[in-house]
Amino acid sequence: MNKVILIGNLTKDPEISTTPSGVSVCNISLAVPRSFSNADGERETDFFNITVWRTLAENCHKFVKKGSKIAVVGNIRNRSYDAPDGTRRYVTDIMAEQIDFLSTKNSNNTTEGKPEVEEVAKLKPIDDDGLPF
């Protein structure tokens, strides 16, 4: 079985392109902090290249950006190629099957311009002296 689940933050904005046959493909880089500290007491981070296809690729491009937190379910793919200097290079990628957006492009710490926050701010306190409970 080849299955991987990762939760982390994008290290850069998603890069989307289209194959000659018109299929969308998006490449993202994900930083995932380790759950333990090294010998110096520091938490290290692993970086993964993730490939996303079709509609999911288009949604990634639309809804997330550098710093966005996502959860990825996919599988590991190994490939190799010959570099211009004649050496053989090996690359490990994650092919995404599912991505959950844990934050979006518009997520930030301010509430300015958010209609639901503005509506709540307009509410007046209720006089509860007349309530039967």
Domain boundary assignment for the chain:
4-105
**pLDDT (tens place) for every residue of the chain, 133 residues total:** 999 999 999 999 999 999 999 999 999 999 999 988 888 989 899 999 999 999 999 999 999 999 999 999 999 999 999 999 999 999 999 999 999 999 866 665 444 444 444 555 555 565 666 666 5
Phi, psi of 55 (to 5 degrees): -60, -40
**What's this model's pTM, rounded to 2 decimal places?**
0.73
In this structure, how many other beta carbons lie within 10 angstroms of the beta carbon of residue 50?
Answer: 23
Using only C-alpha atoms, the chain has a radius of gyration, in whole angstroms, of 22
Does CATH number 2.40.50.140 belong to domain 4-105? Answer: yes
**DSSP H or E run through 57:** helix 54-63
